Chains A and B, each alone.
Chain A
């Protein structure tokens, strides 16, 4: 003989579910679909957002410290104010006490990299070609932790010394140069230098590939007439969404102008937030629909099973245990539906990542399932299953056994 091994509530819940096969299949289908939509959408949107952020932040610092803008202060004729603040042309200036500012930035929590940068306008000249560029003087070992230049190098290493320079592939094309060639660089102030091209990069942005020219800090300081100075300090933070907080703290501590990527890309951030809100709305609606589905099927089940409920009550089953049987049914349906939903989401990710591709043929998103998203969706399904079963379960528990048996 094979006696049932499960505890009473589990045993009865499972048998009730098995007995109403069609209802159970329908309800499972609903939960599976709901969980799959939630997991698939969350995964898709989080990956797409990560890709967009990665592309945007791939070529810029999370936080940038700059000197305060210069203004003209003039005595006012207006009795209401003593001083008039007027804008004035901004010249290239160094950050005062920049070494101390670098130390201040490095001492901040959640800051993982700090790189002083000397940056200013210049012209790249070769033969009759003349291109407007941005001269960027860096310490490569520091700067590669701000922008992952090593991954962008198409030729040579991201290493500069002496009069060596690294330029983008578009500028190289415009000037007709390659690694080993020389080009002339004239800063806006008139200072110039003959540079040896030792590396080419492709940052994935044509404009930057055409504009950036990397040299040593010392050379850039000399060409831009900023002896011993730096024009900005670039900072990387551990979590990109901490950038604003870090920048506000640094601004308060340094008195400099400090911008985070979140303020310089505020429209992108708003778009991402809107996307997240719509994703959450869709998820919310799906959860409600799934909950209603579970609840309505279980309400029908309670009506269908009232005779059995009455018999169980007559045999000594308490109303709480009857309630437990129906809560368990909700939980079981939620749990099994969550498992199959996560499986379906994984399948959908595999399928759609092979269908949708970017211009260069790479998948638009990776067919990977984030464990956190899958687990949280499964947990939500389980909780929603139990909560959705509350009303039918209470109804079953309140059932008068005499009426139930007579039904």
Chain B
């Protein structure tokens, strides 16, 4: 199985070079293979979100190696990291983070618009299909504030999938939803994972949902306690 994410001795510190330098990730090693559906669990402050941001190329590690889809990221320019992120990674945030000035359809098309520079007919067709798949047919032109939390999270999932990324990073995607809606959202992620083979790394506090993942990595105090 090809590794989509590969970490070797990954460290992250904040306040480097200052008296308050704090290391939050202490040399992590693990790989996430193509099509894997993995839960990242651990108590608050264990470094889950930091790890997700590092894998999502939103932050740079202080030390260690990080490869995404076979590309070693150390030494890459900001621009190259942006391109790598845009082409390979889809994000699902806890608070959906839809762009409020855009409709559901436009939000789903946005990664493609960023990639191509303009909205193509193909991107529109993909977005419409994705919105149908997440059960939002007829809601295409609604803005975020016209939809429920569950609907917004469905739009966010459709958006994360619009460029068929090889990796989906979800930061507590069900954390803000009721149990029933959380189950639906989880099922959707699972369905797309199986169908498209995208690897999923899901940060969650919900042991029930974590138990339904293929693999669980538990992070405690910046170290992998279990599941490597």
Task: Tell me whether A16 is interfacial, beta carbon within 8 Å.
Answer: yes
Within 8 A of A (CB), among B189-222: none
Of B38-46, B117-125, B147-155, B178-186, the one touching chain A: B117-125
In the bound complex, do residue A19 and residue B109 qualify as a contact, i.e. CB atoms below 8 Å apart? no
Instruction: Give A325 Cβ to nearest chain B Cβ, in Å.
Output: 11
Closest to A321 in B: B114
Closest to A9 in B: B117
| Given A1-B124, A307-B97, A8 and B82 contact (CB-CB distance below 8 Å) | no
In the bound complex, do residue A313 and residue B82 qualify as a contact, i.e. CB atoms below 8 Å apart? yes
Which A residues are in CB contact (< 8 Å) with B34?
A: none
Which B residues are in CB contact (< 8 Å) with A3?
A: 105-106, 109, 119, 121, 123-124
In the bound complex, do residue A315 and residue B86 qualify as a contact, i.e. CB atoms below 8 Å apart? yes
Task: Tell me whether A318 is interfacial, beta carbon within 8 Å.
Answer: yes
Q: Majority SS of interface residues in chain A?
A: helix
Which B residues are in CB contact (< 8 Å) with A8?
A: 113-114, 117-118
**Could you tell me the distance between the alpha carbons of A90 and B121 in the complex, rounded to whole angstroms?**
90
Residue in A5, A7, A308, A316 whose CB lies within 8 Å of B85: A316
Which B residues are in CB contact (< 8 Å) with A19?
A: 100-101
Task: Tell me whether B87 is interfacial, beta carbon within 8 Å.
Answer: yes
**Could you tell me the distance between the alpha carbons of A7 and B78 in the complex, rounded to whole angstroms?**
23
In the bound complex, do residue B119 and residue A315 qualify as a contact, i.e. CB atoms below 8 Å apart? no
Which A residues are in CB contact (< 8 Å) with B87?
A: 316
Chain A contact residue count (CB 8 A cutoff) = 30
**Could you tell me the distance between the alpha carbons of A363 and B115 in the complex, rounded to whole angstroms?**
59
In the bound complex, do residue A316 and residue B115 qualify as a contact, i.e. CB atoms below 8 Å apart? yes
Which B residues are in CB contact (< 8 Å) with A308?
A: 99-101
Task: Tell me whether A4 is interfacial, beta carbon within 8 Å.
Answer: yes
In the bound complex, do residue B113 and residue A314 qualify as a contact, i.e. CB atoms below 8 Å apart? no
**Could you tell me the distance between the alpha carbons of A3 and B113 in the complex, rounded to whole angstroms?**
11
**Could you tell me the distance between the alpha carbons of A326 and B91 in the complex, rounded to whole angstroms?**
24
Of B3-11, B15-23, B25-33, B53-61, the one touching chain A: B53-61
**Could you tell me the distance between the alpha carbons of A321 and B114 in the complex, rounded to whole angstroms?**
9
Task: Tell me whether A6 is interfacial, beta carbon within 8 Å.
Answer: yes
Task: Tell me whether A199 is interfacial, beta carbon within 8 Å.
Answer: no
**Could you tell me the distance between the alpha carbons of A308 and B98 in the complex, rounded to whole angstroms?**
8
Within 8 A of A (CB), among B113-149: 113-115, 117-119, 121, 123-124, 128, 140
In the bound complex, do residue B118 and residue A402 qualify as a contact, i.e. CB atoms below 8 Å apart? no
Residue in A5, A6, A405 whose CB lies within 8 Å of B93: A405
| Given A1-B124, A1-B140, A402-B58, A316 and B82 contact (CB-CB distance below 8 Å) | yes
Task: Tell me whether B47 is interfacial, beta carbon within 8 Å.
Answer: no
Task: Tell me whether A195 is interfacial, beta carbon within 8 Å.
Answer: no
Residue in B86, B97, B102, B119 whose CB lies within 8 Å of A316: B86
Residue in A317, A318, A405 whose CB lies within 8 Å of B97: A405
Task: Tell me whether A53 is interfacial, beta carbon within 8 Å.
Answer: no
**Could you tell me the distance between the alpha carbons of A15 and B140 in the complex, rounded to whole angstroms?**
17
Task: Tell me whether A30 is interfacial, beta carbon within 8 Å.
Answer: no
**Could you tell me the distance between the alpha carbons of A320 and B83 in the complex, rounded to whole angstroms?**
13
Task: Tell me whether A125 is interfacial, beta carbon within 8 Å.
Answer: no
In the bound complex, do residue A18 and residue B114 qualify as a contact, i.e. CB atoms below 8 Å apart? no
Closest to A320 in B: B79
In the bound complex, do residue B114 and residue A311 qualify as a contact, i.e. CB atoms below 8 Å apart? no
**Could you tell me the distance between the alpha carbons of A174 and B140 in the complex, rounded to whole angstroms?**
90
Closest to A406 in B: B49
In the complex, which of the residues A1, A11, A16 has the most CB atoms of chain B within 10 Å of its own CB atom?
A: A1
Closest to B140 in A: A1
Instruction: Give A178 Cβ to nearest chain B Cβ, in Å.
Output: 79
**Lowest 6 CB-CB distances: which A-B pairs, in order?**
A316-B86, A15-B101, A3-B124, A19-B101, A3-B119, A318-B82
12 CB < 8 A contacts A-B: A3-B119, A7-B118, A8-B117, A15-B101, A15-B102, A308-B99, A313-B82, A316-B82, A318-B78, A319-B78, A319-B82, A405-B93
